Amino acid sequence: MILLKIWNGFKFLFLGLIFLTISITLWYIISDPYDSPLTNIIGIPNYNYIPDIKKLKEEGKLQEALELTRFVLRHPDMPGQEEAKALEKELETEINSLWGKAKRAAKGFITGSGNSIEELGGGIASDMIFWGDFRDLIKQGYFSFTGQETDPVISALAGIGLLTEVFDFADWAPAVLKAFRKVGALSKKFADFIIATAKSSSKIGKLDEGLKIVLKNLSGLVDKMGLARSATVMKHIDTAEDLASVAKIAEKNADTVYLMVKNGGPEGVSLLKQLGNTDEGIKVMNEAVKKGPAGIQWLKKGGSGRKYVIGTRFVARVIKNLRLERPQQFIKTLIANYPQLKMFFYIIIIISFIISLLAFFKSLMYFLSLFTPKKLRTTTASVN
């Protein structure tokens, strides 16, 4: 009986401490002024993208280089403004050269290969008619006959292209995927997905539902980002879920999506999926990409803009989150976006505090009953 009372005393004492901690913590969080995670990244200097632009220009990725140049010019606080202006003129002149455009487009149309936007566009244009798909199927058949390595993705997509044309399904997305494959812009995992869904489509005589969703998301991505930047992003897309998340965020800010992936690779895609569901997360990423690779590393290491934690055990996760003030930051962000929720948290504080007082009182009564006369203990027990 005595041991039971001691156990109940400590049980209610512990319960009281939990609810007292909850009430004090919530009071501290909602009473402390909101500190946007953007304030914690200001100390990182803005990245100089000029060397990256020049490298893209040397590689023949003129449209991608031009888009990055324009990103720099849209942000006057970015370094290299004068060089960016000069590069913009050079790139526009080279891209808009009629002879250069025609030559690159013709190469893409005939061979189905290339790095420039015109070469990719020419390859896609050829796929919109029977020529491109027949050309690729014949090439893959020739490679197989002569013992050379074939590309199952190209063969599968060529078959899908013919299938959509037969059924009068006017969608250029399969041609875009084929063009991306030829320039090495599809990951192995994503290529395997394409092969599997293409085979399924061929068996049932129409597009597989999973493939149809992928083609729709790809169309949206290219519509917002253009072919050149989409090709860079697609290199690090592994799943249909990745593509869906990235395409959704690209609707809000294509520059951020491109630079998150360009600077972060697969980790950039992961961060986009983690932070892209909130306006605050997108604001933080908008600022982080101006910092270049350092901004991505800041997010990766748990900068206050990163709202979620993945891959830890439950207890370790709780301790780490509390230590890094992530739940606190989340609640502050929530109240900043929805001020009406502040009253809701005040009610929780009051209820938690009352529960803690009742638990402490109950604990005290159990402990006091150990030292009271037997008659009084009996009375106390009957009351309880």
Give kind and range of the element (H or E) at residue 79: none
pLDDT (tens digit per residue) in 317-333: 444 444 445 566 667 66
Is pLDDT of 263 > 60? yes
Residues 49 and 88 in one domain: yes
* Structure token digits, residue 276: 């892209």
The runs of H, that is alpha helices, within the chain are 2-31, 50-58, 62-74, 81-95, 98-111, 117-127, 130-145, 152-166, 173-182, 188-204, 209-234, 240-250, 254-264, 266-275, 279-288, 293-300, 314-323, 326-337, 341-368, 374-383
pLDDT (tens digit per residue) in 161-187: 544 443 333 356 777 787 788 778 888
Residues 56 and 75 in one domain: yes
* Structure token digits, residue 370: 């150990």
The pLDDT of residue 163: 45
Residue 363 located in a structural domain: yes
Residue 184 located in a structural domain: no
Higher model confidence: residue 149 or residue 290?
290
The pLDDT of residue 310: 35
Residues 53 and 19 in one domain: no
DSSP of 274-328, one letter per residue? HHTTSHHHHHHHHHHGGGTHHHHHHHHTT-TT-----S--HHHHHHHHHHTTHHH
156 band by pLDDT with thresholds 50, 70 and 90: low
Higher model confidence: residue 298 or residue 179?
298
Residue 10 located in a structural domain: yes
Residue 360 located in a structural domain: yes
The pLDDT of residue 43: 76
370/374 Cα distance (integer angstroms)? 9
Residue 230 located in a structural domain: no
pLDDT (tens digit per residue) in 70-88: 999 999 999 999 999 999 9
* Structure token digits, residue 90: 């050079």
156/151 Cα distance (integer angstroms)? 9
Instruction: Look at residues 51, 75, 70 and name the one whose alpha carbon lies nearest to residue 287.
Output: 75
Chosen domain end from 93, 127, 162: 93
Task: Give the percent of the chain with pLDDT over 70.
Answer: 65
Residue 146 located in a structural domain: no
Residues 32 and 48 in one domain: no
- The model's pTM is 0.61
Residues 48 and 26 in one domain: no
Chosen domain end from 93, 110, 126: 93
Cβ proximity of 276 and 290 under 8 Å: no
The pLDDT of residue 139: 46
Higher model confidence: residue 198 or residue 136?
198
Residue 234 located in a structural domain: no
Residues 50 and 84 in one domain: yes
Cβ proximity of 259 and 69 under 8 Å: no
CA atoms within 13 A on the CB side of 174: 31
Residues 32 and 84 in one domain: no
CA distances from residue 25 to 117, 320, 340, 353 in whole angstroms, order as listed:
55, 16, 19, 11
Mean pLDDT of the chain: 75
Is pLDDT of 149 > 70? no
Using alpha carbons only, what angle is made at residue 146 by residues 145 and 152, rounded to the nearest 5 degrees? 60
Residue 329 located in a structural domain: yes
Residue 50 lies in domain: 44-93
Total domains, the chain: 2
